[in-house]
Structure 1
């Protein structure tokens, strides 16, 4: 008979009229039961603490086991998406959509003359090399710059992909000059494919872009919008490319 059974049996004696209650026994058995419950509760608490300690252990590659540091968990780092980087350099990659006032990278292939003048300077576009860690298929970017009368080219804005491949068919990054600087850079970008016409839509009206092909890869079609028909920095509602037969690409 367990201690609990004996205690119950002793207490049931009060229900029998001829029974004699052994009060000392009841008190003694009650103390024993309470003591056992306290011990059992302490053991359970110890086991729970042991389980927590096991789950908090980390294993490093060397095989050693170290408890995780106490305190609240650090928040997970979440990288916000970026859509533009600076030209090839040894420094970290900046995150803005497009880089303005970047150093003057060396053009790859011919520099494209737009015929748009800013004082004595001439607006030009050109392809440059870029490097993005972990994205081996993005190696080029498109720069908007100005050429001085002495032939010096200064870069104003550089745009490029930050994922995928820079020669995949279709439109790639589009450069918008949203700064308050002067002179403003006309909206520009590049398309890969047999585009013969590119039109943009803004406020329900269509505007045509001027096209030029990259000298090192004729599938890369560089385009820009005349600032007299599309205010620099004004976002397009849509943009479409058509082939020589007028079919939408």
Structure 2
């Protein structure tokens, strides 16, 4: 008779009124059976650890005792998930493309003719041109003025772009003035635009007067683009004042 059968026989003995229950024997056989189950369970775990795909078994605690019954179902095997990297982790491991640099961003398309300032930086031409802009909440601001360079192959590159941030970009008078805040090898001469019949624009710096060069925008002749020669006004140097005059010399 096996140990399990001996235990069952001892348990059935309690059903007969004339039988005295040997409690010590029942406990001893139960401990032996639990020990056997623990040894078998440890061996099964060792075997499972060596498999490529692990099956997780949810088992009833051995201390609940006895074989499976309707009230105590048998162990349930849960199929393993495929071994691999989760989709979320896989996406996070993918290389992130570097952010675009200034050289990767194309220059805005000029509106009207490009103005050659006759200033040269090596083989590059210093040019000025009007471009389209958009300012949230400001429907009357639609243009900006760019200072750029035209390369030998004809391609344009923008160095500084200035535009109004409120109001109307065609209102009479001076608008934003561009100063070169960098120390690049191609410094940008101070520039801007004036709306009105200006024939002369002069700036004041340290008590001296300097004249700007002028060119009218081909799309709207009321927009006068001006810039100061680097030899008369150092790029980046701030003006103390600026005045526009009409053909008769009157101040606008």
TM, length-normalised to structure 1: 0.59
CA distance in 2, matches of 1:226, 1:186: 6
Deviation at 1:150, TM superposition (A): 1.1
1:177 partnered with 2:180: yes
CA distance in 2, matches of 1:238, 1:182: 27
2:244 aligns with one of 236, 241, 245:
241
Question: Does the 8 Å CA contact 1:199/1:241 hold for their aligned counterparts?
Answer: yes
In structure 2, the partner of 1:229 is 232
In structure 1, the partner of 2:128 is 125
SS at match of 1:217: coil
Once the two structures are superposed, the pairs formed by residues 7-156 of structure 1 within 5 Å of their partners are 103-156=106-159
In structure 2, the partner of 1:55 is none
Deviation at 1:102, TM superposition (A): 6.8
Deviation at 1:182, TM superposition (A): 1.5
Which protein has greater RCO, CA pairs closer than 8 Å, 6+ apart? 1
SS at match of 1:230: coil
In structure 1, the partner of 2:204 is 201
CA distance in 1, matches of 2:223, 2:214: 10
Q: Structure 2, unaligned stretches of length 5 or more?
A: 1-101
Question: Does the 8 Å CA contact 1:160/1:173 hold for their aligned counterparts?
Answer: yes
CA distance in 2, matches of 1:158, 1:195: 22
Q: Structure 1, unaligned stretches of length 5 or more?
A: 1-98
Deviation at 1:149, TM superposition (A): 1.2
In structure 1, the partner of 2:195 is 192
Question: Does the 8 Å CA contact 1:129/1:141 hold for their aligned counterparts?
Answer: yes
CA distance in 1, matches of 2:205, 2:149: 26
Deviation at 1:226, TM superposition (A): 0.1
Question: Does the 8 Å CA contact 1:102/1:156 hold for their aligned counterparts?
Answer: no
Deviation at 1:238, TM superposition (A): 0.1
Aligned length: 151
Deviation at 1:103, TM superposition (A): 4.2
Deviations 1:74-107 (A, max 9, x none): xxxxxxxxxxxxxxxxxxxxxxxxx9x9740000
CA distance in 2, matches of 1:102, 1:198: 34
Deviations 1:139-179 (A, max 9, x none): 00000000011111100000000000000000000000011
CA distance in 2, matches of 1:189, 1:182: 21
Question: Does the 8 Å CA contact 1:127/1:140 hold for their aligned counterparts?
Answer: yes
Max Rg structure = 2
